[in-house]
Amino acid sequence: MNDAERLALRTELAAMRTNGARRQDLSQHACKRLFFDFGIRPSMATVRDLTQTGSASDIPKDIDTFWTRIRSASRVRIEGGAIPEGLQERAGELLGQLFQEAQEFAIRSLEDERHAAKDDIDAAMSRLRDAEVRCATVEEALRRSEARADTALARNSSLEIELGSLRGRELDAQSSLHASIHRLESEHAALTQRLETEQTANATLRDRVDTLNGELRHNTEHYAQQIKDAISEAERRVKPMLVELDSLRGMAATYQAGVRQASQKEFDFIQQLSIAKARADRLELRIREQSDELDTLALERDALLGRSGTSENVARLICTMVEEGRLSMEEIRTLGTDIDGFVTVPARCPTCVTGEPELAQHDDEFELSCPDCERSSGTALSRLLAVARFRSAERVDASEQTER
């Protein structure tokens, strides 16, 4: 019997059960269909599987009733036929022998089915015990889940309250943020206007620097030419005097009579030589003064070139923001060396107080350090960044004193 036939038979038995058929009727019908239609010997497991009703003791009784009816029907047909008496006795013996063998076979089948049923019962009891254990485990898990659900509900309520407060704070923060953005936009517009004004002033300063550079070059060339002319004039005047002095000394050795005249000439020559030497000293002093003036102009030029990209007011404002700690290291690093010309070195070390910090420059890197306590800012790409790193400990100390 395949699955389709089994399903059809189950549907048929279910329809009978719906119509009010009893258990015995369902079992008898199942046994008839199995034996006559499918050629299958009815068994307790098969009948129970098809009818889905009856106990382990009721179904064997129904199967025995089915076989009794089959035997009774067969005996009636045999007795009712036109068979001689001798053949009837032999047929009765044959049927009795067949009934005995069938009974023995049925008993053996019954024992096998009983053993199988016992095994099924043991397996079902084992599954029942496992199910009870799983049920207890599930109940324990359910209680734990209910406890966790209660905890989660309480947590959810507290989180909703906290969410309400956070939303209120968020609204306050957004309002303050909008006010800050409006204020910063106003400051940005003002700073942009000031920046344009300072850029115009910087252009004027650049023109002035170019003019000063031209004058410096012209004055340098002029003074250098004067110095060269003075040296040439001194050499031109001294050399003939030296030659003449030598000739006079030779003549004095030969002619004793002209000693006084030679001495007088030598005195004149020495006096002129002294005058020439004094003039040379004055020229050298003037050269040194011009050199100092050139160094001053060069320093002023470097300062003007260092300040040419940023106005003094903007640079002072940025320096003040750095001293107050309102700019981060990334923002200071972004400024680069544009305002290094306005940066001042701290007069005292924030660690030892008595030390005077020294600023050193190595190629394009700056380092601010204290010679007394060996405090250092480390190498930085700009003078502003080195001073900001050196002042960072000072700001931390000031914030700690304010909190105290």
Q: What is the predicted pLDDT for the residue at 397? A: 40
Distance CA 250, CA 244 (A): 10
User: Dihedral through CA 99, CA 105, CA 107, CA 113, nearest 10?
Assistant: -140
Q: What is the pLDDT of residues 374-393, one digit of tens each?
A: 788 888 888 878 888 887 75
pLDDT of the residue at 76: 42
**Confidence at residue 80, expressed as pLDDT on a 0 to 100 scale:** 46
Distance CA 403, CA 64 (A): 101
Of 248, 247, 277, 284, nearest to 265 by C-alpha is 248
* Region of residue 327 (phi > 0: left; psi between -120 and 50: alpha; otherwise: beta): beta
Residue-level pLDDT at 126: 87
Q: How confident is the model at residue 82, as a pLDDT?
A: 52
289-346: pLDDT as tens digits? 877 777 666 555 555 545 545 566 777 777 777 777 777 788 777 777 777 777 777 7
More confident residue, 54 or 312: 54
Is the model's pLDDT at 269 over the cut of 80?
no
Helix 383-403 × helix 312-323 angle, to 10°? 40
Q: Is the pLDDT of residue 24 over 80?
A: yes
Please choose, from the candidates 350, 216, 238, 368, the residue with its C-alpha nearest in 3D space to the C-alpha of residue 295: 216
Please name the residues in contact with 13: beta carbons below 8 A apart, sequence gap of 6 or more. 26, 29, 30, 50, 51, 52
Which whole number is the average pLDDT over 14-36? 85
SS (H, E, C) 310-379: CCHHHHHHHHHHHHCCCCCHHHHHHHCCCCHHHCCCCCCCCCCCCCCCEEEEECCEEEEECCCCCCECCC
Residue ranges covered by each domain of the chain = 3-139, 191-306, 312-403
pTM above 0.75, yes or no: no
The pLDDT value given to residue 71: 72
pLDDT tens, residue by residue, 185-223: 888 888 888 888 888 887 888 888 888 888 878 877 887
| C-alpha closest to that of 30 among 239, 132, 57, 1 | 1
pLDDT digits (tens, 9 = 90+) for 114-167: 888 888 888 888 888 888 888 888 888 888 888 888 888 888 888 888 888 888
Cα gap 223→226, rounded to integer Å? 5
CA distances from 219 to 210, 223, 225, 229, 371 (A): 14, 6, 10, 15, 42
Are the C-beta atoms of 363 and 337 separated by less than 8 Å?
A: no
CA neighbor of 204 nearest in space, from 308, 314, 298 = 308
Concatenated DSSP letters for 91-122?
A: HHHHHHHHHHHHHHHHHHHHHHHHHHHHHHHH
Q: Which helix (H) or strand (E) holds 82?
A: none
Burial class of residue 123, CB neighbours in 10 A (0-12, 13-18, 19+) = exposed
Gap between the Cα atoms of 157 and 148, Å rounded: 14
79-121: per-residue pLDDT in tens? 444 556 666 566 666 766 777 787 788 788 888 888 888 888 8
Size of the chain, expressed as the number of residues it contains? 404
CA–CA gap between residue 359 and residue 366 (Å, rounded): 7
| Alpha-carbon gap, residue 29 to 66, rounded angstroms | 9
Residue 46 pLDDT: 84
pLDDT of 284 above 60: yes
